[in-house]
Each structure stands twice: as structure tokens, then as C-alpha cells.
Amino acid sequence: MDVLRSIARIIVRYRIPFGILTLFLLVVSIYGIQNLQFETDLYKELPQNLQSIKDYQILQNEFQGGDNVIIIVKISNIEEGGVYDIRDPRVIDSVYKLEQKLKEHPYVSQTFSIADVFMQSLGRLPRNEAEVKFVLNALPEDVRNQLVSSDYTMTLIAVTISRDKNQRTLTQVYRDIQRDIEDTNFPKNVEVAQTGSIGITYRILTLLQSDLNKTMAIAFVMVIFLLIYFYRSPVRALIPLTPLAFGVTMTLGFMGLAGIPLGITTTTVGAMIVGMGIDYGVHLTNRYYEERKKGRSIEDSAEEAIAETGKALLGAALTTIAGFAALGFSVLPALQRLGFVLIVGLSLAALNAVIITPAVIMLEEDLMKLIRGHSEIPEIRAHSGFLAQIFSVLGRSIKNHPKTYLTAVILLTLLFTYGITQITTEVRMDKMLPEGIPEIQAINDVNNEFGGMDEVDVIVQADDVRNPVIVRDIYRFEKSVLADSYYNNVFEGDSIADTVIKDYGYIPEDKKKINKALEDSNLVTDDYSMTLVRFKGNFMGTSQEDFNRIMRYFEEESSNANFPPGVSVRVTGDSYINYVLNELTNRDIPRISTYGTLFVVLIVLLLFRSPKTSMAMILPMFLGAFWTLGFMGLARIPFDQTLAGVISMIVGLGVDYGMHLTHRFKEEMDGGNPHPIVTAVESVGPGILVGALTTAGGFLALLFGSLTPIHNFGKALAFGIFASMTAAYLVTPSLLQLFYGKEIKRGGGEK
């Protein structure tokens, strides 16, 4: 391509002005990083035009539906001088004091605890344990079981929070409540912990912040060590790393300037770009050193590296971008943002590699010449020693036995076919945190001892929900759901029908009486056009399969409920939103994967315009994605909102390795090389290995993240890279040898 060679000459000649411009953009990017925000609101991860999302907005706006905080108060040990029973009046007194502190905050809309029961029954707090036992024993068993554990070692405080959905207020609320807990003088042996949506979301936020910095730092460290090994010099290792560091900084700066928040999905961007972006600099650097070894000058070597490697890099960048572009077809805003940011990040990484790498690599040689007093051609491990011998043997072996290698690939594919049948999904927020986190331990205590505190809300909408017929239908609907508690895990229901029956003992025909009973109810809107039927139970603490079954139960019951014509009954609430996210993720996986694959195949066909050549590049891509799916099933890695686009990503990345091999094969064959397969594997193979190891190293850094989705994302992507690399080594040269072997022997070549 004459155009690429002309561009290469411009870059080499004007490398200093290009470098100054890049430094200016780097300074702007550093400013942008300071504006980065974190997003943990699950609601914003969903498309806003869905009816379920609109219903969730109604729940938040009309019924003051807010976040919940559950404060667990439990006996943690039996040291002498402390309390041994949650019924000790000192514990109840401390619970009451904590409640009063909480009520002072303007964002606390409601609290409930065991102390409220005594204030309602006695008009005061109990003075001795006998009074405590008397009041508790007078309660119905199901009510008592919701207040204290069966062994009387645990109780809870339920708090409803109404707050602005942003990072600042979330942090303020969590810290305020934590300070109130610490300031309350609970007796010895008592442990107090907060959980619920606020606690879990806050913990996710803190882990997002730490995971971003930790995984990115570890990715850089892993990549640096690999580069030092392959380039035999810390200084030369910095050559492909410098443009990468610029690219990562510019990407994060762009996100800050554009107001794109970091969430569960986009937190992985830093480590991903480190892993993927290094590939561009590595291939360009390797080609430069190869040309220098042939005796070319510094400028000519840089120009040749940009011009020739640039062809493969352009194709690799376009196919990778095509794979990521498919994320834009997701219905989830978070995945759309991830795709957009990755495209920007990889474009910046590629541009920096092509512009900055030549400047740095020539500067390094000039400095070394100045220090040594003479020019010395660098020797790198990729082109000599044991590694070079391995790829030389591999190239000759594939040239002589291509069908044997393809047979081995078929057998390996059969192994992963079984794994695909074991794939599952998991998107619930509480499953994103590791088990050892205090908030997760606390929520497990709630599920085990109190049957769970999760909520599902059913909106009933009509001209006037005070209609006696509608109220009676609400009562029947509620009791029908409660009767199926063995199946749906519901242990409590609440509705306007309960309020009316509590006042009158029955549901009157007089609408005015119903209106009077509902004057202070928070389960009905001001215009009486909507009301809620609220169910509590253990929904989120079940397996994903049971959770889906329970949510489908609520959908079916609401759809089939016996209400008068014109009355709408719809499911909503935090638990149901998690279910909606799961369903959308399941739909997204095949859509994104299909679009990503089609885009990549189309670009390969347009670039190379040869079905045989394209097949040699594309087949490893398919195999890498297929093997990754099988690995996820075998390793019990479920799909979540982050992993929904993983196949499209692997497709975009996996084709690069076959492309580099194919491009070098074509270059050698067109140049009359009698052994193009051997030369391609010998020359490009080490670069692919370095690129794959550094890319996988960036992804494996995600294993050091604390959040489960980030951890799984790293494992799946790292395996996908190794799978794609292995497939490229075995399949691409074998197919090229089979397709073009006869032409090579005749001394011809496909032009």
C-alpha cells in the first residue's frame, strides 16, 4: 500500500512534532481523569423505554419506593460480662437509641424494629427480661419469627431510605448509618452490621474504585515483566509500553471529559486496553528489530515496520473494533457504553503505537549510540534462542503435516462441545460480591434466620382503586400468593385490603369508609389511581434457576389475576428488576455474538477479497470463541451483564492472530519465498506469542479484582486469547499450506 508507506515516511520525519502534540493531549487527558464518576445504580443499566422500567419509576416516584438498609444485631460471642440473649433489655434499649439516631436523618423515611413492638404494646421499653418474654410470647408465631431468630441470638432493624441516586449521596448515607451504629453503645458480645441495597451497593462502589486501580497496576506490572524477558532490556521493554500508557490515560481522560461513568462493565476498561493495546506496539517493535537485524538503517527500519506491519495492524484494529461495535446493538446501556469506550480506547492505543513507538524506538537507539560511542543492533529473545527454535520446528512440522494438526483441532473442539451445554447466567447484585464480605454475610443471616427481606411489588392501576370490588380482588390476589409460599418463598404480604380489614374487620361496600381507612396509607397514590400489593420473602438468596421461577410465578399470577376489565396488574420492585436484567442479558448474548461475528467476517472479506485466505483467518476466530464458551460451561462461569459481549470481543480479538500470520505468508509468497509458511510462523509466531501473553496478562490482572463479574471476565477473556492464539498457530498455517501448497511448489503465488 503506497499510502501507508507515504504515511510512514511522514510519521518518521515529523516524529518530534507528533510527539509534542501527543504530550499536549496527555495533559488534557490527565485533567479529564479527575472528573471520572462511578455508577452503581442497577436501574441505569437498563433501557428506559421498557414498561418494567417505567413501572419501577412509578414505584420510586409515586410510592416513595427507596433503598432499604437492614441492620443486623446479633450475639457474636459469649464472653463473660456481656449479654447472651437478644431479649436482654439492654439490647432492646440500644436498638431503640439507634433507631432514634437514624430517624434524625432527612433521607430516612421509615424504620421498624423489635423496640417498636414494645413501644406499641407497653408504651415504653421493657425494664426486665420477663416483660420482654411476655410481649414476644403474646405475638403470633409468624410475626415473632420476623423479629427475632429462633435461638434468640439475632434481631434486625429495617430502614427505608429515600435519596438521590448518585455516588455522593450513597456514600453519605452509608457512612452516616455506620457512624450511628458505632456511636450507639451496644452491650458487650453484640455485633452490629448493615446490609441491604445501600450496604451492598456501597460495597460494590468501593470495590469498583479499588479494582480499577489494582487491576490496571497489576496489568502493567505483568506486561512489563513479559516485555523485559522478550526484549532482554528494561529500556527496550518501555518502547511498546510508552504508547500504551498514553493510550490508557487518554481513554480514561476521554471518559471523564465525556461524562461516561465507570460501572460494573466499564471498570474493566483500563486492564483491557493494557492487555489489548500492547499488541500493536509489540508487533511494530518486533518488525523494527527484524529489519535492523537485516542491516537496515534506523529510519528505514522504522519506515518499513510502520508500512508493512501497519497493513496487518490496520486490519487487526478494524476487526477488533468491528467485534466491539456489536456491543452497540445491546439493549443494555452499560454494554453500549463499554463498546463505545473500547472502540475509542483501542483506536487511541493503535494511533499512539504507530506515532509514538517509532519516536521512542529511534530515540532509544540514538541514546544508546551516544552512550556506547557506536551503533549496536539490538538482539531480542523473540528472534533467537530456544523460542526461535520452537517456532522454526512448528513451522516446518505444519508445512509437512497440515492435516494432522487439523485433526488435533477437531478432537479438542469435541471436548469443549460438552461444556457449552453447562452454561448459565447470573446478574443479581448481591452475587457480584465475594462471600466473605460483611454485607453478604449479613444478608445470608437475614435469609437464613428471617426468611429474607427481599421485596416484590405488584402495581394495581384503575380509575379508582377504592372501588370495593377492586379492594376485594386485591385481597383475594394477596391471599392466593401467600397460600403458595412453599413455592414462591413469600412470608409476608401487605395491601390496602389489609388496611381496610384492620379498621373494619371486613371490606365494606361503602366507598367512603374505604377512603377513610386509606387516608394515611402509603400504598396508594394521591389520586387513588394506583396501589401496591407488597410481598416480602427470600427471592435473591435462591439459586438463579429458582429466582427466575419465582419471578415468572409473579408475572403469571399478575397476568391471570381476576380483576374487573380496565384494571392493570404489573410486577415491579428491585428483585423483579434483577430478573428483567437477566432476561435482557440472555437475549443480548446471541444478538451481540451474531452481529460481532458478521461484522468481523465482512471486514476480513473486504480487506482480503479471497475466500480461501479469509477462511484461514476466520476459522481460528470461530474456534477461539467456541472453545471459550465450552470453558465457561466447564469452569462454571455464568454469563452476566459484563460477559454478555465476551464472545463478540473474542471474535474481534481472535481474528488478529490469523491475520498477522496470513499477511506475512502472503508477503513472503508474493516475494518468491519457497517456504512462506515456515518463514511466517518463524517471524510472526514469536510476536503473536508476546502479544497474546501480554494481552492475556492484562486480562488475568482482572483476577485480582474483588468483584465476581470482573474476576470471571478476566478468566473468560484470558482463556479466549490463548484459545484464539492456539487455534491460529494450528489452523491458519495448516489451511494456507493446503490451499496454496501446489502454487508454492510451482513457484507461483496468488497476487
Instruction: Indicate the residue type of 569.
Output: V
* Alpha carbons 292 and 311: distance in angstroms, whole number: 19
Which range, of 361-370, 435-444, 513-522, 558-567, averages the lowest pLDDT? 435-444
Q: What is the dihedral of CA 445, 446, 449, 454, to 10 degrees?
A: -150
- pLDDT value of position 683: 82
With b for 16 or more beta-carbon neighbours within 10 A and e for fewer, the 265-285 pattern comes to: bbbbbbbbbbbbbbbbbbbbb
| Nearest Cα residue to 358 out of 661, 10, 3 | 10
* 372 membership: H or E segment, kind and range: helix 333-372
Q: What angle do CA 427, 37, 330 make, to 5 degrees?
A: 40
- pLDDT value of position 91: 92
The SS3 of residue 571 is strand
pLDDT at residue 747 greater than cutoff 70: no
Could you count the other beta carbons within 10 Å of the beta carbon of residue 410? 9
- pLDDT value of position 359: 78
Alpha-carbon dihedral sign for residues 663, 665, 670, 673: positive
For the stretch 109-141, pLDDT in tens is 888 899 999 998 889 999 898 998 998 888 888
- pLDDT value of position 376: 66
- pLDDT value of position 751: 35
Average confidence score pLDDT of the chain: 83
Which range, of 262-266, 364-368, 597-601, 606-610, averages the lowest pLDDT? 262-266
For the stretch 263-273, pLDDT in tens is 766 777 777 77
175 CB-near residues (< 8 Å, 6+ apart): none
199 CB-near residues (< 8 Å, 6+ apart): 69, 70, 174, 439, 442
Q: How far is CA 35 from the centre of its chain?
A: 21
- pLDDT value of position 164: 67
| Nearest Cα residue to 665 out of 657, 422, 136 | 657
| Nearest Cα residue to 289 out of 241, 222, 358 | 358
For the stretch 1-16, pLDDT in tens is 466 677 777 777 777 7
The residues of the chain that CATH labels 3.30.70 are: 64-201
Q: Are the CB atoms for 708 and 267 separated by under 8 Å? A: no
* Alpha carbons 296 and 302: distance in angstroms, whole number: 9
Q: CA dist 740 to 170, 405, 409, 737, Å?
A: 63, 17, 20, 5
For the stretch 671-719, pLDDT in tens is 888 888 888 888 888 878 877 887 777 777 777 777 777 778 888 888 9
Place of cell 511494530: 284
pLDDT at residue 550 greater than cutoff 90: yes
Q: Are the CB atoms for 186 and 94 separated by under 8 Å? A: yes
Q: Which CATH architecture has domain 64-201?
A: 2-Layer Sandwich (3.30)
Strand pairing of 490-494 and 530-537? antiparallel
What's this model's pTM, rounded to 2 decimal places? 0.69
Instruction: Indicate the residue type of 169.
Output: T
What is the length of the chain?
Answer: 751
Mean pLDDT of 614-620: 85
- pLDDT value of position 379: 64
| Nearest Cα residue to 173 out of 160, 185, 186, 183 | 160
Q: Are the CB atoms for 320 and 276 separated by under 8 Å? A: yes
For the stretch 294-344, pLDDT in tens is 888 888 888 888 877 777 677 777 888 888 888 888 887 878 888 888 888
Mean pLDDT of 64-75: 80
pLDDT at residue 59 greater than cutoff 70: yes
* Alpha carbons 244 and 33: distance in angstroms, whole number: 16
Alpha-carbon dihedral sign for residues 92, 96, 97, 102: positive
